[in-house]
A and B are shown apart, each in its own frame.
Chain A
């Protein structure tokens, strides 16, 4: 069971990575015509990219949203979501465990709320066939699926962690200083 869930977080994390690459592809596709025009005007060469990048900017935004949401659970699993641990860290033994249970219990409720309404949004968009207003009228449920799936998997991850900590299992790990280099600001 636990390893199946781990696999789920890893798989959605990798999907998030793939959407990150797609984000770059969409942005590059959308700059193409501009760069082509610039080459034409600056060097007098024929425009190498004479297409119209229809709605590529919109797709880039959707890819970012899907990427971030799908990676929520694997980010959570590595303890990389930001929280203030200043006071919690001072606690030891049972009080520390109780504090973690408080965080994870409330976290489960809040991520559950996020997941519920993300799924609802996606479902409603599908029901009424809501379309985006861009040049390519995208059915909005498509990008919203990424958001819904990511939020649901995050909620599963938080609940799983709650069960682990409440039944006496190990507490969440904190990222070390070396890893903090990547929590860049």
Chain B
């Protein structure tokens, strides 16, 4: 591996960012740069045929089929009354906490995250109900919207998670184990966010509106019975994975059926809703798979340059400790996250970063959780972040204002990362308990 080659490979990376910057679709940009790289480094190889073969085999993988199914499940749930029901079920219990109904955002997102694989969908589904309700009662926009934007990102960390599926496929680690590993950090992060809200409310008691009239316990319980369908769905999806009965794909299929059952129960399962959910899921899958197609080709092309191996060796020779490497990568991902979405970020860097991680002896499951949290941060950093887009559409506030009120929740994620770094057992405890994880 000569250093000239390395320079050309780095030039290819610059070209990629140039194409991204000028507005070329992400998946197509990756195809374009891969063609150039193949032409430079492996002129004897038929680049186009190699591309078609690798795209065909990578994009028809059984493991990856969990992705469209979880997307579909989210599309079905988005069209049910689940948002109203969750608010009704949670609100009576939050009246006594400092911060009162702001916590419906965080707990609502935490629970919904356990049936949803995405951050923006979690944000949109929960916000559909909490944003108007909190505004009507006079909660300040800053804390109401900030907490929703921050807590919505739990959709990625608490399983199921689209990001973890994409990472798991790239890194060749068990998706079931990644899912299990996300549970404790997810609950921890939710706890950190709630603590912030409680602390803020204790410092600013005048800004939190008074509690709603108290409700007798029996009535509270009756209201909470509206949570039962979601809880059953969580048990079905996560229980089947954790018990080792089902793979991620299979539990996703159960989840789709379960969400149909909820929609049917709520009389929302019309033919129109069904087909809209199918087409919504299909187009979203199509969008993600175009990026994955580009990434598969790029990974193949990068392999010919030797850059991943070269960089891994360079890092090793520099004697970076794992902690420093993690720090460098965190900064890199946060910067990338200002401009790119999570999935593109992961697939783009996987070919180069994963060999480094292995070289440095960092556990790939732990790194999966790390990268998921960093992607969560990217969701709420302007100018590009999907939660920001969703909330902009919902509330009419500017992206930068929403980014600003989300900052405390961004810092909760930083704190969470530090805790996970110093106590890696928080990540590895649940996956280690799974002796018989299915595939």
Contacts and interface: CB of A to CB of B under 8 A. Distances in A.
Given A87-B22, A114-B31, A117-B51, A64 B60 contact: yes
Contacts of B64: 61, 64
A53 B163 CA distance: 29
A84 B253 contact: no
Given A20-B278, A182-B284, 19 more contacts: A19-B282, A20-B285, A28-B257, A64-B60, A65-B56, A68-B68, A68-B289, A75-B290, A81-B26, A81-B290, A84-B26, A99-B22, A117-B48, A117-B52, A177-B391, A178-B394, A181-B120, A184-B121, A185-B120
A184 B285 contact: no
Contacts of B257: 28
Contacts of B386: 180, 183-185
B59 A184 contact: no
Contacts of B375: 185
Q: How large is the interface on B (under 10, 10 to 19, 20 to 34, 35 or more residues)?
A: 35 or more
Interface in B129-187: 156, 162-163
A106 B22 CA distance: 11
Nearest to A108: B28
Contacts of A78: 283
Nearest to A103: B23
Interface residues of A, number: 68
Task: Among A83, A106, A116, A182, find the residue whose CB has the most chain B CB atoms closer than 10 A.
Answer: A182
B68 A83 contact: no
A114 B394 CA distance: 37
8 contacts: A31-B246, A60-B249, A75-B283, A99-B23, A110-B32, A111-B28, A177-B393, A185-B343
A80 B49 contact: no
A58 B56 CA distance: 12
A137 B260 CA distance: 34
Interface string A121-142: 1001000000000000000000
Contacts of A16: 282-283, 286
B370 interface: no
Contacts of B10: none
B282 A71 contact: yes
A27 B341 contact: no
A57 B66 CA distance: 11
Contact of A72 (B62, B71, B245, B290): B290
Nearest to A148: B52
Pick the most buried of A13, A14, A60, A100: most chain B CB atoms within 10 A of its CB.
A60
Contacts of A111: 28
A20 B281 contact: yes
Nearest to B30: A110
B113 to A, nearest CB: 12
A3 interface: no
B299 to A, nearest CB: 16
A23 interface: yes
Contacts of A103: 22-25
A117 B257 CA distance: 37
A23 B24 contact: no
A54 B287 CA distance: 30
Interface of B: 19-28, 31-32, 35, 48-49, 51-53, 55-56, 59-62, 64-65, 68-69, 71-72, 74-75, 78, 117-121, 123-124, 156, 162-163, 245-246, 249-250, 252-254, 256-257, 275, 278-291, 293, 339-344, 375, 379, 383-384, 386, 389-394
Interface of A: 13-14, 16-17, 19-21, 23-24, 27-28, 30-31, 34, 38, 57-58, 60-62, 64-65, 67-69, 71-72, 74-75, 78, 80-88, 99-100, 102-103, 106-107, 110-111, 113-114, 116-118, 120-121, 124, 143-144, 147, 176-185
A85 B20 CA distance: 9
Contacts of B291: 82
A37 to B, nearest CB: 10
B341 A87 contact: no
Listed from nearest, the 9 A-B pairs whose CB atoms lie closest are A177-B393, A184-B118, A181-B124, A61-B60, A117-B48, A68-B289, A121-B52, A71-B286, A180-B389
B79 to A, nearest CB: 11
Given A20-B278, A84-B23, A177 B283 contact: no
A149 B422 CA distance: 51
Contacts of A107: 24-25, 28
Given A120-B52, A185-B156, A74 B283 contact: yes
Contacts of B287: 75, 80-82, 183
B121 A84 contact: no
B48 A120 contact: yes
A14 B283 CA distance: 10
A114 B51 CA distance: 8
A106 B52 contact: no
A20 B339 contact: no
B26 A183 contact: no
A24 B256 contact: yes
Given A20-B72, A60-B249, A177 B392 contact: yes
Given A88-B23, A103-B23, A176 B393 contact: yes
Contact of B68 (A64, A81, A86, A99): A64
Contacts of B51: 114, 117
